[in-house]
């Protein structure tokens, strides 16, 4: 499995279930999945950025 497949494992099956119930949602399922991947990436960056910045700052203090 690649990283995208592992990322989609959590919430992508729910999109499939909802898309199977509605033709209108099924028509835009790819866009929903893309928006979800972007939102998940943004959330990961928002959570991870302070950790990255603190490590980068700490490394600068020891030099």
Residue 6 has pLDDT above 70, yes or no: no
Q: What is the pLDDT of residue 59?
A: 63
Has residue 61 been placed in a domain?
A: no
Alpha-carbon gap, residue 3 to 10, rounded angstroms: 12
Has residue 47 been placed in a domain?
A: yes
Has residue 42 been placed in a domain?
A: yes
Contact 37, 7 (CB under 8 A): yes
Q: What is the pLDDT of residues 7-60, one digit of tens each?
A: 556 777 777 888 888 888 888 888 888 898 898 888 888 888 877 777 766 665
How many H helices and E strands in the chain? 4, 0
Q: What is the pLDDT of residue 44?
A: 83
Has residue 5 been placed in a domain?
A: no
Has residue 12 been placed in a domain?
A: no
CB atoms within 10 A of CB 40: 14
Has residue 4 been placed in a domain?
A: no
Domains: count for the chain: 1
Structural domain that includes position 44: 30-56
pTM exceeds 0.85 = no
CB atoms within 10 A of CB 25: 13
Has residue 45 been placed in a domain?
A: yes
Has residue 37 been placed in a domain?
A: yes
Residue 1 has pLDDT above 80, yes or no: no
């Amino acid at each position: 499995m690649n990283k995208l497949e592992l990322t989609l494992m959590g919430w992508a099956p729910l999109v499939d279930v909802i898309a199977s119930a509605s033709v209108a949602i099924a028509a835009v399922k790819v866009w929903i999945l893309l928006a979800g991947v972007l939102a998940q990436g943004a959330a990961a960056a928002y959570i991870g950025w302070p950790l990255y910045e603190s490590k980068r700052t700490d490394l600068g203090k020891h030099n």
